[in-house]
Amino acid sequence: MRPRIDLLGPELTDLIIAEAVGLLGSVGVAIEDEQTLELLASHGAVSHRSRSNGAGTDPGPCRVRLGEELIQRTLATAPPGFQLFDLAGVPAYAVDGSTTSFVPASAATRLLDQNEARPPRTADLIACARLVEQLPGLAAQSTAMVPADVPELVSDSWRLYLSLLHCTKPVVTGAFSLEGLGVIEALLEAARGDAEALRSHPLAVLTCCPTSPLGWSRTSSRTLIRCARRGIPVEIVAMPLAGFIAPVTLTGTLVQQTAETLAGLVIHQLAAPGAPLLWGTAAAIFDIRYETAPIGAVETMMMACGSARIGQKLGLPTQAYIALSDAKLLDAQAGLETSMGATLAVLAGIDSVSGPGMLDLINCFSLEKLVLDHEICCMAGRIGRGLEPTDDQPVQPLIEELLEQRHLLIADHTLRNIATEINLPGSTIDRASRERWLADGAQTLGHRAHAEAQRLLQHAPPLAVPWAEALSDRRRELDRIMLEAARAAGAEHLPETGTGAAACSP
Amino acid sequence: MQPLSELARSLCAGDDASTVRLTRAAIDAGTPPEIILSDGLIAGMKVIGEQFRRHEVFLPAVLLAARAMHRGMELLRPLLAAAEVSGQGTVVLGTVRGDVHDIGKNLVAIMLEGAGYEVVDLGHDVPAERFVEAVEQSGARVVGLSALLTTTMSAMADVIAELTRHGLREPGTGSGQAGVRVLVGGAPLNAEIARSLGADAYCPDASSAAASVASLLEE
């Protein structure tokens, strides 16, 4: 039995949903984009234009009231789950309430390198993708960092391009602009073969974020619409900050987050009923001492669990930014915040967890932390499978065998069950005797994680999907799309892609 | 006939059925039993032991190999006895008096058996005189002592003193020339404490037991 926790309870869950629906019907949601406004209006949503700040001449965004009937109608078309496929088109993982899948967090602007935070480079993204490929506890890759060595205009598509070249797992990504979204769509279609194949075998999830409080920007709402129409799954990730741009109470913030996410769902499902989406969240508290939004705070984690419960009540697959840390280094805080988050995520039944590898208020990625977090994810996943009877009851025959053989180390029962019953962590986790630990050099966690990351990178096997062979046509198309986008962005030189191909030199 | 390297590989893989089949095939082909033992079974155990020492495989893999070796030895043992070929040697093991913890000692026994040694396991809470009796009866050249508690490790010195009092530590005693050598291990010990107790070697973990015994026997 999968163990579960519910921090809200059924009555409070229903109350939050009802209040969020009421909020959308009375206060409404601010929409910047004309196309989105037309879409909503064509389905009966009532809009009115308000001044952006009450004093200026800027008419500001339109505020749209979404009625309960419209919300219920779109909720009814949203699918309860969906399947993601790897680069070869093989089923990779499902988000359908059956298990928690872990994905590296996204979009760090710094990389922790020898305890120094520096801007990430192309080589760092390649290393990250190659690590994720080899860490079985991570279901998907993400475009974890924003590369600083390419023009800003293509920094979103360039990181996806690298991910596709160096890792076969599905990818969680996002667009920084509508121009970038166009390149991303083209890259995904090229990688899959064509638009229909991408629709039937989704390869990526795009993150779309409302603007708290209760707003949807032009880029985000257009991304929702375009992804829905192409069948590219999205995760709607609101980030209201409790006590700053949302009520200080956690349930109050959850009402706001629910309203913001529901508004996105309405836009998405009106654009293409039945299109796949995840009910996500990055709702956080606001720390008044440091003016930061700590994603590793316990209250932030509680809101992630609460959001998941709300999503589950609405019959949707769920996502959250959790299992990450605000620490600046790979220290005890990094471990405790990540572990607590991963464990809570599993117990709350969150389908897709965005977190591993991330530090410093979602600003700094660490390859060493990714390796450590992979162990945390595997441990949390083990908790998620729970305590279950296997084929050993009644136990008496086993005890008799034990008394006769003096141990059960190679008993048939042991060999049959050990791999699923006991999670054996990698070398990052220290379980050695003190003597062996000393003999191995008395390595700290940081040393061990660094050594493991380096070992994995140095011994990375070739990709299971050989770009140079079976998918050479698709590879050429990827290169062409990226090259064209880079030229348009004014790139004079692009970094090496680490594939041995001279595809990108505009 | 399959080469003995194939036999060694099957043993490494813990495949006892193949190990029996290949051992029988080697016997049928007229290969001397001591060669089958040294170039097939023991060679395979050395490989898996080395992999275990480097932490490339885990304890069950060693035990599976040891089980395969045991199956092969069932065929070879009568032939070796007829040819008067001796095995790797005998080790007397036990947890010292006052101490009932024997998991570590049991692991060492398993590892030594896997490496081809005959093991006389005296169990736990073993008085010093019992070690002496076992050495005299088995002709063992190595005694392994285990203790988990700081309060009981001094009993190791008692065993060593008892062996000395019976003249078993002198060269020419036991079945070899160097006298009985004593190996100690357990949570409260380290190499320095082992020396202070009068032991000949300290064994930090089960994986190093076979190598430690081999080293003692070579002295």
Q: Do B67 and A407 touch (CB under 8 A)?
A: no
Residue A143 DSSP SS3: coil
Contact B60 A435 (CB under 8 A): no
User: Is A288 within 8 Å of A243 (Cβ atoms)?
Assistant: yes
User: Which segments within A66-214 are labelled E, that is strand?
Assistant: 82-85, 91-95, 101-103, 110-113, 116-118, 141-142, 171-173, 204-208
> Which of these, A263, A264, A257, lies nearest to A282 by C-alpha position?
A257
pLDDT at A57: 56
A498: left (phi over 0), alpha (psi -120 to 50) or beta: left
What are the residues of chain A with a beta carbon less than 8 Å away from any beta carbon of chain B? 406-407, 409-410, 414-415, 418, 433, 435-436, 439
ipTM confidence score: 0.74
pLDDT of residue A439: 86
Least confident segment among A25-34, B78-87, B146-155:
B78-87
* DSSP letter assigned to residue A63: E
Shortest distance, CA A465 to any CA of chain B (angstroms)? 28
> pLDDT band at residue A504, thresholds of 50, 70 and 90?
very low
Provide the pLDDT for residue A502: 39
Average confidence (pLDDT) over B185-202: 91
Which residues in B lie closer than 8 A to residue A409 (C-beta atoms)?
59-60, 63, 110
Q: Which of A74-78, A147-151, B212-216 has the lowest mean pLDDT?
A: B212-216
Contact A410 B204 (CB under 8 A): no
**Do A176 and A155 touch, CB atoms closer than 8 A?**
yes
Q: Residue A433's closest chain B neighbor by CA?
A: B205
Contact B110 A418 (CB under 8 A): no
Searching chain A, which residue's CA lies closest to the CA of residue B191? A435
Distance from B52 to chain A by nearest Cα, in Å?
Answer: 13
| Contact at CB, A409 and B59, closer than 8 angstroms | yes
How many Å apart are CA A124 and CA A504, to the nearest integer?
18
Q: How far apart are CA A27 and CA A65, in angstroms?
A: 7
- Partner-chain residue, chosen from B64, B106, B205, that has the shortest CB–CB distance to A435: B205
What would the mean pLDDT of A335-348 be, rounded to a whole number? 98
Question: Is A303 in contact with A257 (CB distance < 8 Å)?
Answer: yes
- pLDDT higher at B173 or B100: B100
pLDDT classification of A43: cutoffs 50, 70, 90:
very high
- Tell me, yes or no, if B20 comes closer than 8 A to chain A by beta carbon: no
pLDDT at A500: 55
B22 to chain A, closest Cα gap in Å: 22
Task: Compute the distance between CA of residue A432 and CA of residue B18 in angstroms, rounded to an integer.
Answer: 34
- Yes or no: say if A355 and A324 are a contact pair by the CB < 8 Å rule: yes
> What value does the mean pLDDT of chain A take?
93
Structure tokens belonging to residue A87: 């680069």
Per-residue confidence band for B117, with pLDDT thresholds at 50, 70 and 90: confident
Residue A504 tokens read as 């990108």
Q: Residue ranges of the alpha helices (H) in A349-423?
A: 367-385, 396-405, 412-421
For residue A249, is pLDDT > 70? yes
Dihedral sign computed on CA atoms, order A105, A111, A112, A117:
negative
Judged by CB atoms closer than 8 Å, whether chains meet at A435 and B106 is answered as no
Distance from CA of B168 to the nearest CA of A (A): 30
pLDDT at B85: 66
- A406: which chain B residues are within 8 Å (Cβ-Cβ)? 106
pLDDT of residue B119: 92
Which residue in the set B60, B64, B205 is minimally distant from A436, CB to CB?
Answer: B205
Residues within 8 A of A (CB atoms), B 88-127 only: 106, 110
Q: Is pLDDT above 90 for A333?
A: yes
The pLDDT score that the predictor gives to residue A506 is 42
Closest among A142, A130, A180 to A497, alpha carbons compared: A130
CA distance A488 to A56: 36
Q: State the pLDDT confidence band at B121, using cuts at 50, 70 and 90.
A: very high
DSSP 8-state class, residue A204: E
Do B63 and A406 make contact, defined as CB atoms within 8 angstroms? no
Q: Is the pLDDT of residue A501 over 50?
A: no
Does residue B130 contact residue B166 with C-beta atoms inside 8 Å? no
Q: Rounded to the nearest 5 degrees, what angle is found at the Cα of A455, between the Cα atoms of A453 and A458?
A: 110
Cβ atoms B116, B69 nearer than 8 A: yes
Those residues whose C-beta lies under 8 Å from the C-beta of residue B137, and which sit 6 or more positions away, are none
Q: Which two tokens stand for residue A141?
A: 């890759």
Among A409, A433, A439, whose Cβ lies nearest the Cβ of B63? Answer: A409
Partners of A455 on chain B (C-beta within 8 Å) are none
Q: Which of B16, B52, B55 to mutate to test the interface with A (most CBs of A within 10 A)?
A: B55
> What's the rounded mean pLDDT across residues B85-97?
86
